[in-house]
Amino acid sequence: MLPLRDTQEISIFPIATIAIIIINVFVFVAMYIAAYSSPNPQYSLALTYVKYGLVPYELTKGHLIYPTIRPVWITLFTSMFLHGGFAHILGNMWFFWIFGNNVEDYMGSVKFVLFYIAGGVIAALTQVAINPSSKVPVIGASGAIAAVMGAYFYLFPRSKIKTLLYVFYFITFVEIPAPFFLIVWFLMQLIPGLTPSGSSQGVAFWAHIGGFVFGLLVAIIIKKMKENGTYGEFYY
């Protein structure tokens, strides 16, 4: 299933969503330009990942095994702006655009940015908690985006996702209820996350799970605050 767009309209210009996408793309392009300007591009990329990516072992043990920036907790933030290739960043930013602008519209741009960053941190810490001794750098915005998707799941239960559906040679376009689409996506993270083979796929499934659950819980709180008139609006 490939989501193309959602049916939920927005009432603001999603400046925060666009800004986050631009920052991610800028970092990605700058990283690859720097790498392919060096004598050994692959080594340069690997050095960037271990320097700015989150290495659970370094965070939990306090012992640096790579030339990581210090203090090591900063990688909780820097890691969410790194991507491992064109498909990685394209997929992440595509999902983020589909779901992010609506959540920004609901929360307000400033609070949305804070929510996005907090979601990325919580997602990363979830992955660390599940595999604290891992020496593989965790990179990517998918944990933060999972938080956005979790919030979307609760805030827009009537929305639909126009989806490209392909099964072998059968291709069609369908509108899928957003909650169903997101539940299927969540199960696609949870099932491999609970199986031994999941850790060998090179995907931080528990970051996605932790981010989604965090986003869902925050959305529940925010909606309740709005209903009580205690949330406060900040639209920029």
What number of residues does the chain have? 236
Q: Which residues contact 168 (CB under 8 A, 6 or more apart)?
A: none
Predicted pLDDT at 1: 78
Q: How far apart are CA 36 and CA 58, in angstroms?
A: 28
Q: At 211, is the pLDDT very low, low, confident or very high (cuts 50, 70, 90)?
A: very high
Could you check whether the bond before residue 71 is cis, i.e. omega within 30 degrees of 0?
yes
- Span 51-73, average pLDDT: 93
Q: How far apart are CA 57 and CA 55, in angstroms?
A: 6
- Span 43-56, average pLDDT: 95
User: What is the number of H-type helices and E-type strands within the chain?
Assistant: 9, 3
Picking from 83, 189, 192, 177, the residue whose alpha carbon sits closest to that of residue 146 is: 189
Cβ proximity of 121 and 74 under 8 Å:
no
DSSP string of 161-196, one letter each residue: EEEEEEETTEEEEEEEEHHHHHHHHHHHHHHHHHSG
Between the alpha carbon of residue 185 and those of residues 117, 170, 178, 188, the distances in Å are 21, 21, 10, 5
What are 3-32's pLDDT values in tens digits? 999 999 999 999 999 999 999 999 999 999
CB-CB neighbours of 130 under 10 Å: 17
Predicted pLDDT at 202: 76
What are 64-94's pLDDT values in tens digits? 999 889 999 999 999 999 999 999 999 999 9
Picking from 15, 172, 205, 199, the residue whose alpha carbon sits closest to that of residue 107 is: 15
Cβ proximity of 137 and 54 under 8 Å:
yes
3-state secondary structure of 2: strand
Q: At 230, is the pLDDT very low, low, confident or very high (cuts 50, 70, 90)?
A: confident
Q: How far apart are CA 155 and CA 228, in angstroms?
A: 16
pLDDT greater than 70 at residue 96: yes
Picking from 182, 189, 2, the residue whose alpha carbon sits closest to that of residue 103 is: 182
Tell me the fold of 2-228.
Rhomboid-like fold (1.20.1540)
Side-by-side strand order, sheet with 160-167: 2-6, 160-167, 170-177
Predicted pLDDT at 167: 76
Q: At 197, is the pLDDT very low, low, confident or very high (cuts 50, 70, 90)?
A: low
- Span 153-176, average pLDDT: 90
**Percent of the chain having pLDDT more than 90?**
83
Q: The pTM is what?
A: 0.93
Q: At 234, is the pLDDT very low, low, confident or very high (cuts 50, 70, 90)?
A: very low
Mean pLDDT of the chain: 93
- Span 56-60, average pLDDT: 95
Between the alpha carbon of residue 63 and those of residues 60, 81, 121, the distances in Å are 8, 23, 20
Token readout for 67 is 């030339």
- Span 31-46, average pLDDT: 94
